[in-house]
Amino acid sequence: MSPAFSVCVYCGSRPGVDPQYSALARTVGQWIGRHGGQLVYGGGKAGLMGVVAEATLAAGGRVIGVIPKALVEKEWALRECTELHIVDTMHDRKRMMAERADAFIALPGGIGTFEELFEVWTWRQLGYHDKPVGILNCGGYYDGLLAFLERAVEQQFMSDWQMALIQTGSDPVALLAGLVQAAGLAPAPRLDEI
């Protein structure tokens, strides 16, 4: 059976200092799995990447991992993925992840997460895709970044319409549901809701 929707999750290959980050990643994975969805992510089992993937699998969802050869050992590729694609370059990774997703969401992470988020946002504003993009602002993690982006708008290096291309929120369930709805899809009802 094909998944009801496919969400690309960008997040850290480290767990971060606050346990709420792992709890958030677990909630995201559980929601995707319980609603008949598919996770697309970077293919690692370390940090938040591993948490979201394992939670999706445990909740009955499909997991598509995409990882470059050079990172298979560094990020400890999760061999239990429904599909694990080992690609040549980071460009191949990001392209495949974008192609397989209906929507994108950034959880807490580092420079790789930021780069992937900004690239897919840039692609959207250039019209390369029309898929929704979200930032899950757990515990104010992205407050500084969002304030900086508003500063860029104030200084007229960005426009309000560019900011409007990003959905932000601190509630993972509400943000995920909003992104899936914005993609024109509907999550399947949870088994315990039928």
Residue 111's Cβ-side half-sphere holds a number of Cα atoms within 13 Å equal to: 0
pLDDT digit string, tens, across residues 25-57: 999 999 999 999 999 999 999 999 999 999 999
CA-CA distance, 64 to 20, in Å (whole number)?
Answer: 24
Nearest to 18 by CA among 122, 107, 90: 107
Is the per-residue pLDDT at 108 higher than 70? Answer: yes
Which CATH architecture is the domain 6-182 placed in?
3-Layer(aba) Sandwich (3.40)
Nearest to 192 by CA among 33, 56, 39, 62: 33
User: Residue 76's pLDDT is what?
Assistant: 85
Nearest to 142 by CA among 13, 6, 21: 21
User: Residue 174's pLDDT is what?
Assistant: 96
Nearest to 47 by CA among 93, 109, 117: 109
Indicate the pTM of the whole model. Answer: 0.94
User: Residue 188's pLDDT is what?
Assistant: 73
User: Residue 73's pLDDT is what?
Assistant: 73
pLDDT digit string, tens, across residues 122-165: 999 999 999 999 999 999 999 999 999 999 999 999 999 999 99
Residue in the block written with tokens 């959905």? 167
Sheet holding 83-87, edge to edge: 83-87, 62-68, 38-41, 6-10, 103-106, 133-136, 166-169
Domain ranges for the chain? 6-182
Q: Give the model's confidence band at 190: pLDDT under 50 very low, under 70 low, under 90 confident, else very high.
A: low
Is the per-residue pLDDT at 80 higher than 80? Answer: yes
Nearest to 83 by CA among 116, 55, 43: 43
